[in-house]
Homo-oligomer: A and B are copies of this chain.
Amino acid sequence: MPKVGRREQILEKASQLFRTKGYHATTIRDISEASGILSGSLYAHIKSKEDLLFEITDRGAEMFLRSLRSVVMSEEDPVTKLRNALVAHIRVITDNLEAATVFFHEWKALTEERRRIIQQKRDEYEAMWARLLSEGEEKGRFRLVDPKFARLLILSAANGLYQWYHPEGELSPEEVADRFADILLSGFTESEGGEKDESR
């Protein structure tokens, strides 16, 4: 008899294993053992190993989209929006290190149809960042020599977080976002020193 919440527990164990060993190196027996059941019994809860990967990856994508949407839709100044978008992005990663790692590292292991679904959500996310930057450009708050390049640099740097951020380390997510924004902003805002937002 399936226990309530068992499926969530399996997803969590799978996330941890996919993160540390990678999807292909993680076996159904690894996951079932970590979940305290036998491998055959796993299929009372899931349909396939790939279903697990897709569900973890898709949830990750939705978390990024949801958190950025609320920032983009706000009426804040572009500089503040950039700061808030960074905080949001970093928070998703730091609050969901396993899922975020799987999202960044293992999504290519999905079969084509589902990989396309994730790819679309990634594109949508990048498009939201592009709009945020171009809005800052239009309002004269950023000077971007190459907006596409700036976006790729920001997201590359932000996505690299999952590889070195340790929750038990010295920096809180907000501190990470602040330092990040300070380096970036004084890089492409007019004012010297980068307009630190003291109001938060």
Q: Mark A residues whose CB is within 8 Å of B.
A: 22, 24-25, 105, 108-109, 145-146, 149-150, 152-153, 155-161, 163-164, 171, 176, 179-180, 182-188, 192, 194
Contacts and interface: CB of A to CB of B under 8 A. Distances in A.
Q: So how many copies of this chain end up in the complex?
A: 2
A interface majority secondary structure: helix
A183 B188 contact: yes
Contacts of A176: 149
Contact of A24 (B24, B171, B186): B24
Contacts of A161: 156
A98 to B, nearest CB: 15
Contacts of A146: 179
Contacts of A163: 156
Contacts of A157: 153, 156-157, 160
A111 to B, nearest CB: 11
A160 B164 contact: no
A160 B184 CA distance: 16
Contacts of A109: 22, 25
Contacts of A24: 22, 24-25
